[in-house]
Amino acid sequence: MLLRLPAPLRRSFKRTLKATSFWQENYTILREFKHFPLVAILAIGCAMGAASFEGFSFGFLLAFLQSLVNPDAPPFHTGLGWFDQWILGVSESSTNRLYRVSALILAATWIRSGFNYLTQVYTELTQQKLVDRLRKQIFEQLQALSLGYFSKTNSGELLNTLTSEIGRLQAAFGLLSFIITRSLTLTVYVYLMFRLSWQLSIVSLTLFILLSVALSGLMTRIRQASTGVSSSNGRFTATAMEFINGIRTVQAFATQDFERRRFYKASSDVLDASMKATKGYALVRPLAEALATTVLIGMIILALTLFVTNGIMQTATLLTFLFILFRLVPALHEINGSRAAMGGFWGSLNNIRELLETENKPYLKDGHLPFSELRQAVTFKSVDFGYDSEQFVLNNINLTIKQGEMTALVGASGAGKTTLVDLIPRFYDPTRGGIFIDGVDLREFQINSLRRRFAIVSQDTFIFNTTVHDNIAYGTEGATEDDIIEVAKLANALEFIQEMPEGFDTRLGDRGVRLSGGQRQRIAIARAILRNPDILILDEATSALDSISERLIQASLEKLAEGRTVIAIAHRLSTIIRADKVVVMEQGRVVEEGSYQELLDQRGKLWNYHQMQYEVGDRGNVGAIAEATITGATNTEQF
Ligand SMILES: Nc1ncnc2c1ncn2[C@@H]1O[C@H](COP(=O)(O)OP(=O)(O)OP(=O)(O)O)[C@@H](O)[C@H]1O
């Protein structure tokens, strides 16, 4: 028969195991301490100093009480010859000893206060450094993750983890440092108590341990409630962010009531979850206090009846013992209260750890070859790709994009054009097959060196909340004022920039709210021109422009495209008539390839699109389209 341990022992064993796995589970966070060991060691060192001097003051207090209560009794001594002689002054009169001990208590108290101050400074510094490291770690993690992660993760929740949850974790570590420093003081108290009376110490400590065990169940529930607080906070931030970012749509669709209900519910959920957690941890302290006071009173009665009246213990010793016990009880309360409050932050710890963990997250493996330039071609060989492993959005793509040529991708919305283009700067890697640059698999190249040779102008250009100048210069080091003006001119943006109140120094607001869609795109084009890329990707680069601006920009893009490799996605056929190769896509497959005129002559898919867009009768030709474009007679219908 198996030996069955009593329940409290089993629980305590499990807790010890948990404590070990706590280290393993939270290694991602705890390992950060190695970056600032000195500050952490100083914090603990000072806490130990404070605890020791607290101990000394109690020792001196005992000497003081003895001299006061029973001046004729042999003086208190430590057994350390020089210390007793020179410091405690055992051979001096009782009055002198009283003065000396008073001075010693005072000195110990001041030194302890100094250590307490330093402990606070260093523990605060440790927390700040930890939080700083964690924020940077999260940043590195977010930088390293492939874009696939972000399309599956709510940005509001990420923001919540990076801001609120980090703040909550800082508070949790504040409490942890407090628990550690108070525990050191408690150790000194316990040591002194045992020195004074081991019997009383055993009784009182057993009672306090039982008290702690009784509170453990409550702690577990607090931790669970705290996970609820973290997730409701995440949902709230996500809802608030969506509301703010989508405010135009909300107003346009008059969905204020719907949004109000969503926002109010998210806010109430935070309230409910916090209340649940608060009810738990607010109970710990008063409960612990009431129970501990009961223990304390019991101890006094026990000590008086069993020890003092029988002469086993001196009154001064009992007084010192009780004095320490009176200090120990609030310290225990503080520790219990902090443990409970820490439980309230458990969810934050889980959130951050979850974000920092590297398993089950998509990363792009960096290659080792520096990429210098495209010399011959980018080749897709039997490429399949799916954002989810179950469903492919690109199927068996075989395609050659020649250096120096313009390749245009055409197809209905959702056909997979953007996805295909996103594979070339390695925003994603193919699920099957491979993409090769001059015969070398893309995955062999260092990602950054590869991306540096690209410029992308897309449908949703991101404008940073900084000046026009900095937005154009973004990603290109060493650009001069003249370069910036030159590219703004080429992108047909100079005129509107000069009309702005502070010209190139005008700040563009959050996401460039101070610009029209067309202006945003022209800034993006200027940014791309400045980059002087090897491969230029235009993902509906001129979609937000009116036909006059489009024609002007088309001319600058053509100039920019000269001698470069251009991959252009276009809904308006007018922008790709001069392409060297047109690739028509349908449902993730390449269905036609050839020059514009060749494809028209085939009377296939492109011909259908062409018919829809230009309505030029049953025989379209490139010359007619060029004519139609130049006269601005394009049909606005797009596919
Ligand atoms: N981040 C993503 N996560 C999951 N699915 C996606 C993601 N981006 C696109 N898709 C899906 O992949 C398919 C191809 O989308 P893609 O954007 O490549 O098409 P497209 O031809 O560029 O369309 P459009 O012309 O409208 O921009 C679509 O079915 C789309 O829903």
Averaged pLDDT of the chain: 81
Q: Any idea how long the chain is?
A: 639
Cβ atoms within 10 Å, residue 341: 22
Contact between 394 and 419 under an 8 Å Cβ cutoff? The reply is yes
Return the residue whose CA atom lies nearest to atom 31 of ligand 1. Answer: 414
pLDDT over 70 percentage in the chain: 87
- Token pair, residue 181, equals 């420093």
User: Is residue 149 in contact with ligand 1, taking CB distance under 6 Å?
Assistant: no
Q: Is pLDDT of 375 > 80? A: yes
Q: How far is the CA of 484 from the centre of ligand 1 (A)?
A: 33
Q: Is pLDDT of 409 > 90? A: yes
- In single-letter form, the type of residue at position 297 comes to I
What is the C-alpha separation between 226 and 230, in angstroms, rounded?
6
410: which strand partners? 584
Return the residue whose CA atom lies nearest to atom 14 of ligand 1. Answer: 416
**ipTM topping 0.90:** yes
Contact between 529 and 490 under an 8 Å Cβ cutoff? The reply is yes
Return the residue whose CA atom lies nearest to atom 7 of ligand 1. Answer: 387
- Token pair, residue 228, equals 């609820």
Place of tokens 């250009």: 461
Kindly provide the b/e burial profile for residues 163-199, where b requires at least 16 CB atoms within 10 angstroms of the residue's own CB.
Answer: ebbbebbbbbbbbbbbbebbebbbebbbebbebbbee
- pLDDT tens digits for range 79-96: 666 767 777 776 777 777
Contact between 583 and 593 under an 8 Å Cβ cutoff? The reply is yes
User: Is residue 385 in contact with ligand 1, taking CB distance under 6 Å?
Assistant: no
Q: What is the per-residue pLDDT for 74? A: 66
- In single-letter form, the type of residue at position 176 comes to L
- pLDDT tens digits for range 598-620: 998 888 888 888 888 766 544 44
Q: How far is CA 435 from CA 404, 424, 566, in A?
A: 18, 7, 17
Residue 199 has, within 13 A of its CA and on its CB side, a CA count of 8
What is the C-alpha separation between 431 and 397, in angstroms, rounded?
12
User: 377-385 and 406-411 as β-strands: parallel, antiparallel, unpaired?
Assistant: unpaired
- Residue 469 — φ and ψ, nearest 5°? -55, -55
Q: Is pLDDT of 215 > 80? A: no
Ligand 1 atom having least distance to the Cα of 420: 18
- pLDDT tens digits for range 425-479: 998 999 999 999 999 999 999 998 999 898 888 877 788 888 899 989 988 888 8
User: Is residue 528 in contact with ligand 1, taking CB distance under 6 Å?
Assistant: no
Contact between 572 and 542 under an 8 Å Cβ cutoff? The reply is yes
| Average pLDDT for 141-160 | 84
Q: What is the per-residue pLDDT for 25? A: 65
Q: How far is the CA of 428 from the centre of ligand 1 (A)?
A: 13
Stronger pLDDT, 379 or 340, i.e. the higher one:
379
Contact between 26 and 176 under an 8 Å Cβ cutoff? The reply is no
What is the C-alpha separation between 385 and 364, in angstroms, rounded?
15
pLDDT band at 406 (very low <50, low <70, confident <90, very high): very high
Return the residue whose CA atom lies nearest to atom 17 of ligand 1. Answer: 418
Q: Is pLDDT of 163 > 60? A: yes
Q: Is pLDDT of 183 > 90? A: no
Please tell me the least confidently modeled range out of 106-110, 194-198, 431-435, 633-637: 633-637
User: Is residue 230 in contact with ligand 1, taking CB distance under 6 Å?
Assistant: no
Beta strand residue intervals within 413-459, DSSP E: 432-437, 440-441, 454-457
User: 440-441 and 432-437 as β-strands: parallel, antiparallel, unpaired?
Assistant: antiparallel
Q: How far is the CA of 419 from the centre of ligand 1 (A)?
A: 6
383: which strand partners? 397
Q: What is the per-residue pLDDT for 396? A: 94
User: Is residue 583 in contact with ligand 1, taking CB distance under 6 Å?
Assistant: no
Contact between 583 and 409 under an 8 Å Cβ cutoff? The reply is yes
What is the C-alpha separation between 93 and 95, in angstroms, rounded?
5
What is the set of domains in the chain, with CATH numbers? 367-453+533-594 (3.40.50.300), 465-532 (no CATH)
What is the C-alpha separation between 308 and 301, in angstroms, rounded?
10
Q: What share of the chain is helix, strand, coil (3-state, %, to 5)?
A: 65, 10, 25
HEC readout, 384-446: EECCCCCCCCEEEEEEEEECCCEEEEEECCCCCHHHHHHCCCCCCCCCEEEEEECCEEHHHEC
Ligand 1 atom having least distance to the Cα of 421: 18
- In single-letter form, the type of residue at position 397 comes to I
Q: How is 15-51 classified by DSSP, letter by letter?
A: HHHHHHHHHHHTHHHHGGGGGSHHHHHHHHHHHHHHH
Q: Which DSSP helix (H) or strand (E) runs through 245?
A: helix 198-245
